[in-house]
Chains A and B, each alone.
Chain A
Amino acid sequence: MSRVTRFAARDPGPSARVAGFIAHLRANGLRLGVGETETALAALTHVNAANPDETRRALKSVCASTADEVTQFDALFDSYWLNAGRVREKFAPSERGGNAHSRNSREASGENAAARGQIHAPDDGAGAAHGEGTGTLIASRTASLMHHDMRKLVSPQDIAAAESIARHLAHSLAYRRSRRRRAARRGDHIHFRRLIRASLSTGGEPLTLPRKKRPDRRMRIIALCDVSGSMTIYARVFLAFLTGLIRADDATDAWLFHTRLVRISDALRDPDPLRALNRLSLLADGFGGGSKIGASLAQFAHGPARHCVTSRSVVVILSDGYDTDPPAALTDALTRLRRRGGRIIWLNPLKGWKDYAPVTAAMAAALPHLDLFAAATTLNDLATLGPQLERLK
């Protein structure tokens, strides 16, 4: 997986180098075609290409096409043009197994350790450091430096099984139709009121037949999955489940959290499953480390939730409730989510155990805010959730 991210000195000319750069961006998950190489070259003729700053901005405007990519771009630009052939840390192959408690950055980064000063460079957008006050200190102590290879965690068969379950659940949850009919281009009924109105302009002759249909009032699923150390053994099931949910419905959103929050929907939607998992491994930097459920959910409730949680949303939290934060943050986050009108479901892998009682501070604090608290230890548990979810609608 390691990629030398520098232009080769033997390259015949600027076009080859720019093409190399586009390939480099493509390898890093930006969706670019041949057309972009052309545009990039054309763009460079309109700026002073000898000035790195101008070149950077020009290429950024051409190559980046979402806000996330804009934040990623600078680091990718540096690593290709300015970094003297350094291998990008996040792409370094990690052969080592899952010693989740390793805190030694040198070991973790293997042979490239000496080449790189910053391990936690927040350079792939996902890793934007949300440091505030004491949070940074704790996070840097507990964030695992291991780069887990998700391919070991999720097999294609798992995904297939989880996908069918998730699709089933998503359907039982997501599908809700309105009783009213609204104007629609392709509808099952003729919109009579509009027909009459439209016929006025054609002298009473109904030339156009406006139609109406029952709009889908879809419930949007937003899944938040805990991948902290205590959850590692369930991660396989849950990640497969998330992949399934994501692939079942375009509107579904998925996030991972351990000590911070990472959006993984786009990574999971990648058409190439292997690459999806690779992208996931990059995002899951810190996977298997400590858990800050309260802080992560608070970050979600204060940030992204403002756009994506409405009264037609179901927030699914997959976590065991072992939180290193005081429960106040969690309560506050859940209250906020509730106030936005969404339903909250907490799937806890421990609940399947005999004699389990939600006594951990976080879980106890969370319980009053939940619409459903259910077990989710295996895919089978998830499969039996359907009827319970039906009732929530």
Chain B
Amino acid sequence: MADWRDLQQGMADHGYIAGDDLVMALHIALSLGRPLLLEGAAGVGKTEVARVLAALKGARLIRLQCYEGLDAAQAIYEWNYPRQLLAIRAAAEGGETGAGVEARIFSDDYLLERPLLQAIRQTESPVLLIDEIDRADEEFEAYLLEILSEFQITIPEMGTIGATARPMVILTANGTRDLSDALRRRCIYAHVDYPDRAAELAILQGRCPQIDQHLTRQIVSFVQTLRREDLEKTPGIAETLDFAAALAGLGINDLTHDPVALQAALATLLKTQVDRARITTEVAQRLAGQAA
């Protein structure tokens, strides 16, 4: 039963180099039909897992971006009030009243599906990505519990809607606040860390094959050393890719050759004023020298 290796290979074919722990967690989550909770710093590729999984399974990706104040109306469903009102007025003019109108205005036609309801009603299993769940309020987390364990949604006017095909659910979090135990318990958990040198090299080679081997190695060593520096915002894998693209765009083929261009390209890695000030041209050159 080595199919988790197949999964890893499949993800690699789609350009995602995943660690063993992550792939195993994903494999278990898929086999057991449980949601997968991914935690880790920003920019380590948590969201990308869902995208790759959708591509791999040929499934539709439904994404729910969480934010503070997200409520059921925006995440699950909402009635289309203006249409309902128009329908009522039209019905009144037509002389139609009573139960008929009511049944009509609380039917599917007047229901606005939001991501969660959409995911439940797909005929083929979609990938449901609930991004940055820790940004949503605790109340919303509680809404999720029913959906994640039963895969059903209750709409008072229509009854309970069960999932026709179980969505593959991926939740991501990066520690804005602690998640409740109840939510954690329902999920299979994986912690996504910054990739190590070999993994990052593989990712970069996979994503930017046009950059030559020597520079790729230099970029990876440079970023890996940079992560050990005392920074406010450690660059993630997405930043590394931007950095590589920027260097390629500037036509650099060796990090140590052109300090000015390197400093310019650092804009893709360092995202705060303090970090920019800390990594001066000299420091960048020293790091590049170590990387070479």
By a beta-carbon cutoff of 8 Å, the part of chain A in contact with chain B is: 31, 33, 35-36, 39, 42-43, 46-48, 53-54, 57-58, 60-62, 64-67, 70, 183, 185, 201-203, 207, 302, 306-307
Contacts and interface: CB of A to CB of B under 8 A. Distances in A.
18 contacts: A33-B185, A36-B185, A39-B32, A42-B32, A46-B1, A47-B4, A47-B24, A48-B1, A48-B2, A54-B4, A54-B24, A57-B24, A61-B21, A67-B39, A70-B191, A185-B71, A202-B81, A203-B82
Interface residues of B, number: 33
Interface in B176-201: 181, 184-185, 187-191
A201 B82 contact: yes
Interface SS of A by simple majority? helix
A327 B82 CA distance: 68
Contacts of B37: 65
B273 to A, nearest CB: 12
Given A42-B32, A46-B1, A57-B20, A306 B185 contact: no
B190 A61 contact: yes
Contacts, number: 77
A185 B187 contact: no
A177 B1 CA distance: 58
Nearest to B80: A201
A33 B182 CA distance: 11
Contact of B27 (A33, A42, A46, A201): A46
B137 to A, nearest CB: 9
B188 A61 contact: yes
B81 A67 contact: no
A155 to B, nearest CB: 29
A43 B28 contact: yes
A202 B187 CA distance: 40
B234 to A, nearest CB: 10
B62 to A, nearest CB: 23
Contacts of A31: 181, 185
A61 B37 CA distance: 10
Contacts of A47: 1, 4, 24, 27-28
Nearest to B139: A185
B91 to A, nearest CB: 14
B58 interface: no
A201 B187 CA distance: 38
